[in-house]
Amino acid sequence: MRPVLVGAVLYDPKVSVIWDIIREFFEANGCPIDVVFYTNYEMQVDALLQGHIDIAWNSPLAWLEAQRGSKGACRAIAMRDTDRDRVSHLVVRAGGPVRRLEDLRGCNVAVGAKDSPQGTLIPLGMLARHGLLPGKDFQVRRFDVLVGKHGDHVGGELDAFRCLDQGEADACAMLDLNWDSWCKDGTIPLRKYEVLATSEKFDHCVFTVRNDFSPALEKQWLDVLFSMSYDNPEHQRMMDMEGLKEWKPGRLSGFGPLQEAAEKLGFWEQPRR
Partner 1 sequence: MEPAGEFVWDVRVAATATNVAHVFVRKHQFDVGVPLSFDREEERATALETALGALGAEIVVGLRRVARKHRLVVDDVEATVQARLRNALVYLGVIGEEGDPGIRQVRIRVYVTTAAPAAAVERVWQEVLATSPLICTFRHAVDLELTYKIIL
Which region, judged by CB under 8 A, interacts with partner 1, from 33-41, 90-98, 151-159, 194-202? Answer: 33-41
By CB under 8 A, tell whether 10 contacts partner 1.
Answer: yes
Give the DSSP letter of residue 138. Answer: B
Cα 63 to Cα 6, 48, 210, 244, distances in angstroms: 15, 11, 11, 19
- Which listed range, 8-16, 133-141, 151-159, 217-225, lies at the site for partner 1 (CB under 8 A)? 8-16
Taking the C-alpha atoms of residue 105 and residue 138, their distance in angstroms, rounded to an integer, is 5
Q: How far is CA 20 from its chain centroid?
A: 21
The DSSP bridge partners found for residue 261 are none
Closer CB to partner 1, 128 or 145, in the complex = 145
CB of 271 to partner 1, least distance (A): 17
Q: Does 5 bind partner 1 (CB under 8 A)?
A: no
Task: Give Cβ neighbours of residue 68 (< 8 Å, ≥ 6 apart).
Answer: 268
Which residues 12-31 are close enough to bind partner 1 by CB under 8 A?
13-14, 16-17, 20
Would you count residue 147 as binding partner 1 (CB under 8 A)? no
Beta carbon nearer to partner 1, 32 or 131: 32
36: contact with partner 1 by CB under 8 A: yes
Q: C-alpha distances in angstroms, 104 versus 87, 143, 175, 197?
A: 20, 19, 19, 11
Instruction: Give the residue, chosen from 4, 6, 25, 38, that forms a contact with partner 1 under the rule CB under 8 A.
Output: 38
Q: Which is nearer to partner 1, 37 or 230 (CB)?
A: 37
Cα dihedral 109→113→115→120 (10° resolution):
-20
Give the nearest distance from C-beta 115 to partner 1 in angstroms: 15
What string marks each residue from 42 to 71 as x (binds partner 1 by CB under 8 A) or -? -x---x------------------------
User: Can you tell me which of 99, 192, 219, 237 binds partner 1, judged by CB under 8 A?
Assistant: 237
Give whole-number Cα distances, 74 to 38, 45, 48, 185, in Å.
19, 11, 9, 39
Contact set with partner 1 (CB under 8 A): 10, 13-14, 16-17, 20, 36-40, 43, 47, 237
